[in-house]
Amino acid sequence: MAKRLLIVDDEETLTFSLYQSFIRSPKDYEVVTAASGEEALERLSEKPFDLVVTDIFMPGISGIEVLEKIRKEYPRTEVIIMTAYGSQEHRENAMSKGAKYYIEKPFDMKEFKSLVIDLLG
Amino acid sequence: MSKQYKNKKEAALTLQKFYSALEANRQPEEAPLDSDYKSKYNLLLKRFRELEKVFDFHRGIIQQISSGVITTDLNGSITFINRAAQDIFGYHYLDIQGQNISTLFAEPEQGTQFFKRVIKEGHQYQSKETYLITKDGELIPAGFSTSYYLNPENKEPEGVIFIFRNITVVNNLRRQLERMERLATLGEISAGIAHEIRNPLAGIKTSAQVLEESFSPGDFRSQLVSRIVKEIDRSNDLLKRFFNFAKPGRPKQEFQDIEMIIDGVYLLMAPRLKKRNITFHTDFSSEMPRLYIDGSQIEQVILNLFINAVEAMPEGGKIMINTKIVKEYVFEQGSQQAVVVEIADTGRGIPIDQQEKIFNPFFTTKSDGVGLGLSISTRLLEENGGKIEVDSAEGKGSSFRIYFPVIESDTSKIR
């Protein structure tokens, strides 16, 4: 069964390009995008995901809140946090709340993919 | 006032002599007359002692007050200078009596103007800031106030009283605070903008890289896209430097040997110094306490100052670093013992009108500079409780002094 990946960011150019990249990848991933924390929780409630990659700062529910909700309600779903507001505090906060990886935007696609492959195989 | 006092004193002394003489010649039968004189004499003596007391009291205040007090006549000739003023200017009372007050101003012309306003317009200055000049030609920032000295009888102005304070320390602290406020505001703005730019940058970079995946490596389109990515990375590096400036990481403070840090920076810079024909000299204090600082942040500050020094000397020159302890330096939390690290060069120097601007973010005189070095250094020092000052003479060189508070609890001396 294809691994399910949810990409959450209000920056649609980013979600669009990541989507385009993953659907062309030789890996058989099922990729879904969401433009807000609310939308992400809705997608999660419809069908479980193996991995959620989320931005932190979005209007409405933040990526950290999404992370907390996932850790509580979907323990099998891994989370990667990405943010343009890179700082040690954000990293520590994300990791302590159970994110698997923390990555600063803009990132390198190769690096990003290797993190995804590491978690999804 | 002193003239009046002198007159009274002389009068009293004359009287005293007169009565002593009387006493010597007095006849027993003249007792009633004598007792009348005697009581008047005693009364006078009592009044005189009271006057003397009041005089001493006032003189004590004038002499011991920490502000400088100078009086002049209505032409501006100095008639009196108190102890604090003598200390500030380095003049003795006798050297300066009769000299015109304007000669004490760094710009005598300005001093004359001030005096004219006081005399002609009846203006009273309140904490007016100016520069005064000492006997040795040193300029002192000072704040002064003026008032009239009135004739006690007819209440007509008889002279002018100048009261002033050396405001070097106050100015220094104020300048440092202003600098910090400016940096903090600009820091917040630039960090906010930088973050907002980083988001779309992430979208552009990812799109470019996904696009790149669809071209074969030799394709010119692939080369174009990789250039886009390279430029995005360059912009991002710049943005990251803004973050560092806006929000330096929390310092991990430990007791550190500042001289080890300086040596480390020197080793890093040694090849460049050699290439530029720059010699390096140190003069380290033998009794240096360890400093409670984040070693890598302070290393960055010293490296920055080193790089600036090197770049100020394209024709070669000298870098001199010395460390010493000063008994007192005014930090925000108050005045305390401090370690000073001075980094001096023999480079081109900084024009006086730029000496404050160099701490502004984005101010640069280098063609390839961003202008963040000194502002980041100031921020890092602030995080570590330190301060920075500059002295520079165009064509001669610059000297940066960084001050760190000595933390009492560390009694361990290095040597």
pLDDT above 70 for B25: no
Whether residues A109 and B206 touch (CB distance < 8 A) is answered with: yes
| Average confidence (pLDDT) over B278-306 | 91
Would you call B349 helix, strand, or coil by DSSP? coil
> Mutate which of B193, B206, B207 to disrupt the A interface (most A C-beta within 10 Å)?
B206
- Indicate whether B264 and B160 sit together in one domain: no
Classify residue B412: in a domain, yes or no: no
CB atoms within 10 A of CB A35: 17
Whether residues B198 and A11 touch (CB distance < 8 A) is answered with: no
Query: Would you give the end-to-end CA distance of chain A in angstroms?
Result: 12
Q: B53 in contact with A at a CB cutoff of 8 Å?
A: no
pTM for the structure as a whole: 0.57
Phi then psi for B65, rounded to 5 degrees? -60, 145
Q: Token digits for B359?
A: 């701490």
Query: What CATH number has the domain bearing residue B395?
Result: 3.30.565.10
pLDDT above 60 for B415: no
- Indicate whether B181 and B227 sit together in one domain: yes
Give the chain B residue nearest A13 (alpha carbons).
Answer: B203
Kindly report, residue by residue over B103-118, the tens digit of the pLDDT.
Answer: 999 999 999 999 999 9
Are the C-beta atoms of B76 and B100 separated by less than 8 Å?
Answer: yes
Confidence of residue B218 (pLDDT cuts 50, 70, 90): confident
From chain B residues 140-179, the ones with a CB under 8 A of any chain A CB are none
C-alpha B118/C-alpha B196 separation (Å) is 56
pLDDT above 80 for B58: yes
Q: B252 in contact with A at a CB cutoff of 8 Å?
A: no
Q: A108 in contact with B at a CB cutoff of 8 Å?
A: yes
Q: In what order do the strands lie in the sheet with B387-393?
A: B278-283, B317-331, B334-345, B397-405, B387-393
Classify residue B234: in a domain, yes or no: yes
- Indicate whether B390 and B345 sit together in one domain: yes
pLDDT value at position B162? 95
Classify residue B138: in a domain, yes or no: yes
| Average confidence (pLDDT) over A13-23 | 93
C-alpha B320/C-alpha B331 separation (Å) is 25
ipTM exceeds 0.85, yes or no:
yes
- Indicate whether B237 and B324 sit together in one domain: no
Classify residue B127: in a domain, yes or no: yes
| Average confidence (pLDDT) over B196-222 | 91
Contact list in B for residue A112 (CB cut-off 8 A) is 206
pLDDT above 60 for B27: no
Confidence of residue B392 (pLDDT cuts 50, 70, 90): very high
pLDDT value at position B409? 59
From chain A residues 12-31, the ones with a CB under 8 A of any chain B CB are 12-14, 16-18, 20-21, 24
- Indicate whether B268 and B309 sit together in one domain: yes
Cα–Cα nearest to B68, from B98, B104, B122: B104
Classify residue B369: in a domain, yes or no: yes
| Average confidence (pLDDT) over B58-65 | 92
Q: Token digits for B336?
A: 């305390």
What is the tally of structural domains in chain A?
A: 1
Whether residues A13 and B201 touch (CB distance < 8 A) is answered with: no
- Indicate whether B159 and B204 sit together in one domain: no
Q: B199 in contact with A at a CB cutoff of 8 Å?
A: yes
- Indicate whether B76 and B158 sit together in one domain: yes
Distance in Å, alpha carbon of B399 to nearest chain A alpha carbon: 34
- Indicate whether B13 and B77 sit together in one domain: no
Question: Read out DSSP for B183-223?
Answer: HHHHHHHHHHHHHHHHHHHHHHHHHHHHHHHTS-TTSHHHH
Contact list in A for residue B207 (CB cut-off 8 A) is 13, 16-17
pLDDT value at position B4? 62
pLDDT value at position B28? 53
Kindly report, residue by residue over A35-69, the tens digit of the pLDDT.
Answer: 999 999 999 999 999 999 999 999 999 999 999 99
- Nearest CB to B206 within list A14, A85, A86: A14
Whether residues A105 and B195 touch (CB distance < 8 A) is answered with: no
> Mutate which of A15, A17, A83, A110 to disrupt the B interface (most B C-beta within 10 Å)?
A17
| Average confidence (pLDDT) over B133-154 | 91
What is the tally of structural domains in chain B?
A: 4
Distance in Å, alpha carbon of A72 to nearest chain B alpha carbon: 29
Spell out a b/e string for B271-310, using b for 16 or more CB atoms within 10 Å of the CB, else e: eebeeeebebeeebbeebbbbbbbbebbbbbbbbbbbbbb
- Indicate whether B258 and B389 sit together in one domain: yes
Query: What CATH number has the domain bearing residue A86?
Result: 3.40.50.2300
Q: A2 in contact with B at a CB cutoff of 8 Å?
A: no
Structural domain harbouring A57 = 3-120
Q: A87 in contact with B at a CB cutoff of 8 Å?
A: yes
**B140 CB-near residues (< 8 Å, 6+ apart):** B88, B131, B132, B133, B134, B166, B168
Classify residue B411: in a domain, yes or no: no
pLDDT above 50 for B414: no
pLDDT above 90 for A24: no
Kindly report, residue by residue over B145-156, the tens digit of the pLDDT.
Answer: 999 988 888 888
Confidence of residue B325 (pLDDT cuts 50, 70, 90): very high
- Indicate whether B57 and B74 sit together in one domain: no
Q: B207 in contact with A at a CB cutoff of 8 Å?
A: yes
- Indicate whether B287 and B388 sit together in one domain: yes
| Average confidence (pLDDT) over B4-25 | 71
- Indicate whether B192 and B152 sit together in one domain: no
Are the C-beta atoms of A93 and A64 separated by less than 8 Å?
Answer: yes
Classify residue B6: in a domain, yes or no: yes
Structural domain harbouring B377 = 254-405
pLDDT value at position B369? 74
| Average confidence (pLDDT) over B335-359 | 91
Whether residues A11 and B199 touch (CB distance < 8 A) is answered with: yes
C-alpha B243/C-alpha B190 separation (Å) is 8
Give the chain B residue nearest A25 (alpha carbons).
Answer: B213
Kindly report, residue by residue over B30-46, the tens digit of the pLDDT.
Answer: 555 677 888 889 999 99
Comparing A9-18, B164-173, B265-274, the range with the smallest average pLDDT is B164-173
pLDDT value at position B188? 73
pLDDT value at position B31? 55
Computed from CA positions of residues B197, B203, B205, B211, in that sequence, does the dihedral angle turn out positive or negative? negative
Comparing A105-109, B175-179, B336-340, B376-380, the range with the smallest average pLDDT is B175-179
pLDDT above 70 for B26: no
Classify residue B414: in a domain, yes or no: no
| Average confidence (pLDDT) over B243-247 | 69
pLDDT above 70 for B317: yes
Query: What CATH number has the domain bearing residue B117?
Result: 3.30.450.20
**B388 CB-near residues (< 8 Å, 6+ apart):** B359, B374, B377, B378, B381, B400, B401, B402, B403
What is the pLDDT of chain B when averaged over all its residues?
A: 87
Distance in Å, alpha carbon of A64 to nearest chain B alpha carbon: 17
